[in-house]
Amino acid sequence: MTQDEALQIVMRQADKIGLDPMMEFHHAQRAIVEYCPDRSRPGRVSDRLAWVLYFRGELGRMEVQVDDRKGEILSVVRE
Amino acid sequence: MMPEPIEKRAEQYVTRLLERRLQRAGLGLPGETNFLVQAQAPRPYFGGIEVRVRTWRHWSDAAVSFDAATGEIMERRIDRYAMPPCREEMTLQDAQAAVRAVVPVPPEAQLESFSHVLYAPFCTVARVQWRHVHQGLSVLGDFLIAMVHPKTRQIVEVRCKWRTVKLSGW
């Protein structure tokens, strides 16, 4: 998967993940991330190769992790 | 005017003695008396009486944190190792050597930052941080941070989160 493909996946699901339209894409990196299906509870984690995309806006920042192989959105973090 | 009881005088004497010695050894700041003294009852001694004084000292706060799942140590610190007060700085090479002498730095560790921070009033320590890079890719969330006293080379604090990467089907 390329960075552009990962960005397209995020933009297609912008409403679903709550990406503010005023936020702009800032940068991305391909990295190994810890994946936990339910972050609200302690549990097993696994390693995934992902594209991590960073967005910035006046109201804050957002980080979205996209699985590099499956295109699944693994995590959304708002600051 | 009644003289002070001998027990009280013994405690004052020991307090003064300890304060002087600790300051001379660089282990105490002026006015810092974080130790306790307690005189015991006077007892016969040839030629007079003696008063024995027990002492206790709060040497340092220390903490260890473990990963609840794996039992690995995630953080350990001994605040006292930030003493004696120091304004000096050390080189990155010296700091890395001091850390590596005590802490196993994983082969996939890549230096991320080096700085000096004020750990406590008048106590500057060197801070070295590594990140985890696996086959050229950053492992997000993993880090190794160590604080070193620039003069004594003691490791004041180590914080670590480091996992063995297992990428399925990669």
Q: Which CATH number goes with the domain that contains B141?
A: 3.10.450.40
Residues B79 and B141 in one domain: yes
Domains and CATH numbers, chain A: 3-37+46-78 (3.10.450.40)
Domain total in chain B = 2
Task: Give the chain B residue nearest A70 (alpha carbons).
Answer: B169
Task: Give the chain B residue nearest A43 (alpha carbons).
Answer: B69
Q: Kindly tell me the number of DSSP H helices and DSSP E strands found in chain A.
A: 2, 4
For chain A, the farthest-separated pair of C-alpha atoms sits apart, in whole angstroms, at 35
Count the helix, strand and coil residues of chain B and give each as a percent rounded to the nearest 5: 20, 40, 40
Among B33, B57, B81, where does a domain finish?
Answer: B57
Inter-CA distances, B146 with A14, B91, B100, B118, Å: 40, 14, 10, 14
Is B115 among the domain residues? Answer: yes
A27/chain B closest Cα distance in angstroms: 15
Its pTM stands at 0.75
Q: How high is the pLDDT of residue B30? A: 62
Instruction: Provide, rounded to the nearest whole percent, the portion of chain B with pLDDT above 70.
Output: 94
Residues B46 and B75 in one domain: no
Residues B41 and B102 in one domain: no
Note if the bond before B84 is cis, omega within 30 degrees.
yes
Is B44 among the domain residues? Answer: yes
Is B40 among the domain residues? Answer: yes
Contact with chain B for residue A41, Cβ under 8 A = no
**Quick one: average pLDDT of B112-116?**
97
Report the C-alpha gap between B167 and B170 in whole angstroms. Answer: 6
Parts of chain A with a pLDDT under 70: none
- ipTM greater than cut 0.95: no
Is B166 among the domain residues? Answer: no
Q: Determine the structural domain holding residue B154 and report its residue range.
A: 62-161
| A31/B166 CB distance under 8 A | no
| Confidence bin at B150 (pLDDT 50/70/90) | very high
Is B1 among the domain residues? Answer: no
| B140/A46 CB distance under 8 A | no
Residues B77 and B53 in one domain: no
Taking all residues of chain B, what is their mean pLDDT, rounded to a whole number?
90
Is B156 among the domain residues? Answer: yes
| Confidence bin at B28 (pLDDT 50/70/90) | low
A43/chain B closest Cα distance in angstroms: 9
* pLDDT tens digits, one per residue of B66-79: 988 788 899 999 99
What H or E segment, with its residue span, contains residue A4? Answer: helix A3-12
Residues B138 and B116 in one domain: yes
| Confidence bin at B59 (pLDDT 50/70/90) | confident
Residues B69 and B52 in one domain: no
Among B39, B57, B75, where does a domain finish?
Answer: B57
